[in-house]
Chain A
Amino acid sequence: MNNLILPEAVQPGRHYSFRADMKLNAWAFVALLVAFTARWVLQHHPDWSGLPRSAVALSPLLPSLLYVRSIKRWIGGMDELQGRIQLGACLFSTTGTVFITTALSLLESGGLLRTSRLQHGLGWEGTFAVIIALYVLANILVNRRYR
């Protein structure tokens, strides 16, 4: 068999490969770990000045960028149809997330979310969850088209 990267290698099922999963998603786990640690540090050190607080608050961005690089390499190792499907799914999930967060922001500015849990937006956890949900949805829909 050729050495193509297949999306099934990181999805639950008989083709799942822990190694492939780690190669793709390790930086996502690191980003989550750093984000939780940063939150804990900021809660326990309210006395810190602006610069170190900003550095800690922004620290999850570096592993997040490295995760984007992993995704780019992962898609680059696929054949042209799989690459197109995954790029389409990534585009759908990111534009969908931008649309949802913008809609929430507009509703908030219109005073419509005051009593809701979403009055301060989705937060990074919510944004991450929406991206994943839309990505999975897009994958199912686009894969069905080419099956």
Chain B
Amino acid sequence: MKNRLRTLRTSKDWSQSDLAEKLSVSRQTVNAIETERYDPSLPLAFRVSRVFKLPIEEIFEPDGQ
């Protein structure tokens, strides 16, 4: 799954650790999502959506779309 997490995070001038703390996950998890090595669970995707105040589909996009 593709995502805009890195772009959104840097636009707010947050480090990976800042975002990790807001999402209650480890920095490694934020990095793995940003590099698209790991797809977050639905609850985590909703937390990301809430943190950035954007709908999920504007942050995550399934492969091939």
Contact = CB atoms under 8 A, between A and B. Distances in A.
B51 interface: no
Interface residues of A, number: 12
Given A2-B21, A2-B24, A81-B26, A146 B32 contact: yes
A81 B28 contact: yes
Interface string B20-34: 110011101101100
A21 interface: no
For A2, A81, A145, the residue with the greatest tally of chain B CB atoms inside 10 Å of its CB is A81
B11 interface: no
A138 to B, nearest CB: 16
Contacts of B41: 80
Interface of A: 1-2, 4, 6, 78-82, 145-147
Interface of B: 20-21, 24-26, 28-29, 31-32, 37-38, 40-41, 44
8 contacts: A2-B21, A4-B24, A79-B24, A79-B25, A81-B29, A81-B38, A82-B29, A146-B28
